[in-house]
Amino acid sequence: MQKNSMDMEETSNQARQYSKLKTQLIVYQLLLTAAFLITMLFSGASLFLKALVIGLSRNFYLQLGFYLVIFSGIYYLLFIGLDFYGSFLLEHKFKLSNQTILGWLKQSIKKGLLSLLMLLAAAEAFYFLLRNFQNNWWLPATALWLMLTITLAKITPILIIPLFYKCRPLVNRELKENLIRLSKNHGVRIKEVFEVQLSKDTKKANAAVVGFGKGRRILLGDTLLENYSDQEIEAIFAHELGHLCLLHTWKIFAFGTVISLASFYLTFLLLKTSLTFFGFNQIYDIAAFALLALILMLLGLLFMPIQNSFLRHLEKNADMFALDHIQNKQSFIAAIKKLANQNLSDPSPGKFAEFLLYTHPPISKRLHYAGEKSEKCPEQRHTAKDFN
């Protein structure tokens, strides 16, 4: 008993240390990104880069494409060291990774190229709006954001996830039938359950319900399937099902649309007052991309606590849905504890860190209200105490 207590304390200490280092990395990344964008503006590097790409083509959108490729390449090379530390060295230090250096490099290049393709598509469309709707571009830009977000959500399970992880239909027939039956009982149609080979890269466990309509599918990490009972997996899935039944995806889209509208309108105002200061003549000046990125980043930070507070509220609702719709609430509590230990989640982060960065309620809070819910069920009262 004493050994188990010591092991739990050691895991909690590791989780706190891991979380602290991850938070520091986020801060460094933000500060260095801001420094990079400010340097591009004040040093004249952005104007120089614009002059360079103008010589490559007479077409505005090709010039923009060349600018973004070079700009993104510089950013990628400047930050690859920090990314390597955060996603490889740190993960290995805390024994959370199975990835090889070559595997990490392949993943990094894939992510970089995919990010570049998405940036090119979004920026080309965005600059089209800047050129053709100079006085009210922020309205169609919000519609563009919503369209791109929905499109990304639809293609992620079909195209993007298979780029990084092998997926195969779930072999455990009984578990598969139970999950699909649970979905049907709540009016959610899911055709297939897939096992995702996460263990190639990580020891962390994860599960999700992704996609829309016919493309909707259940994804279960092999790291989850290997370490959790069927009841625990069903409890985790019930949480994901809660998001669907409570229409959280559409609520997130609606909330995100409001935030995007506010962000784009504020960007519109800030660009109007700052363009001439940096030597730009037009709102769609290619060299002003660094200024546009800086403003959007700062506004993103401003709205981030509000967005995260909203997401934590939805996550709690999904937890409560799961607890209301599973018979064995002990399995939910056990699964949350296992996930926290396996993924090294800080059980009780500081209130400021939670307010700014956390999209989910801390583990301690999730266990607290899950325990309270279990205590209200007489048949499980004794098991709930065992987990508190």
Strands 192-196, 217-221: parallel, antiparallel or unpaired by DSSP? parallel
What mean pLDDT comes out for the span 223-250? 94
pLDDT above 80: residue 348: yes
* CA–CA dist 140, 144 (Å, integer): 6
- SS3 state at 246: coil
Q: What is the pLDDT of residues 130-171, one digit of tens each?
A: 999 999 999 999 999 999 999 998 888 889 999 999 999 999
pLDDT above 80: residue 387: no
Q: What is the DSSP string of 3-41?
A: HHHHHHHHHHHHHHHHHHHHHHHHHHHHHHHHHHHHHHH
pLDDT above 60: residue 5: no
pLDDT above 70: residue 107: yes
CB atoms within 10 A of CB 215: 14
* CA–CA dist 257, 161 (Å, integer): 25
pLDDT above 90: residue 334: yes
pLDDT above 50: residue 294: yes
What mean pLDDT comes out for the span 58-66? 96
Torsion region of 95: left, alpha or beta (phi above 0 gives left; psi -120 to 50 gives alpha): left
Which range (88-102, 110-124, 275-289) has the least confidence? 275-289
Strands 192-196, 167-169: parallel, antiparallel or unpaired by DSSP? antiparallel
Q: What is the pLDDT of residues 27-52, one digit of tens each?
A: 999 999 999 999 999 999 999 999 99
Q: What is the pLDDT of residue 381?
A: 41
Q: What is the pLDDT of residue 3?
A: 47
Q: What pairs with residue 167 in β-bridges?
A: 196
* CA–CA dist 285, 279 (Å, integer): 10
Q: What is the pLDDT of residue 377?
A: 63
Q: What is the pLDDT of residue 8?
A: 61
Q: What is the pLDDT of residue 210?
A: 86
Q: Identity (one letter) of the amino acid at 81? A: G
Query: What is the band of 271 on the pLDDT scale with cuts at 50, 70, 90?
Result: very high
Q: What is the pLDDT of residue 285?
A: 95
Q: In whole angstroms, how far apart are CA 17 and each of 97, 162, 300, 303?
A: 16, 32, 27, 27
Query: What is the band of 59 on the pLDDT scale with cuts at 50, 70, 90?
Result: very high
pLDDT above 60: residue 355: yes
pLDDT above 80: residue 10: no
Q: Are 38 and 291 contacting, i.e. CB atoms less than 8 angstroms apart?
A: no
Q: What is the pLDDT of residues 74-88, one digit of tens each?
A: 999 999 999 999 999
Domain ranges of the chain: 2-167+241-386
pLDDT above 80: residue 229: yes
Q: What is the pLDDT of residue 374?
A: 72
Eight-class DSSP state of 261: H
Q: Are 332 and 228 contacting, i.e. CB atoms less than 8 angstroms apart?
A: no
Element (H, E) at 161: helix 161-164
Q: What is the pLDDT of residue 7?
A: 57
Percent of the chain surpassing pLDDT 70: 94
Q: What is the pLDDT of residue 384?
A: 33
* CA–CA dist 54, 45 (Å, integer): 14
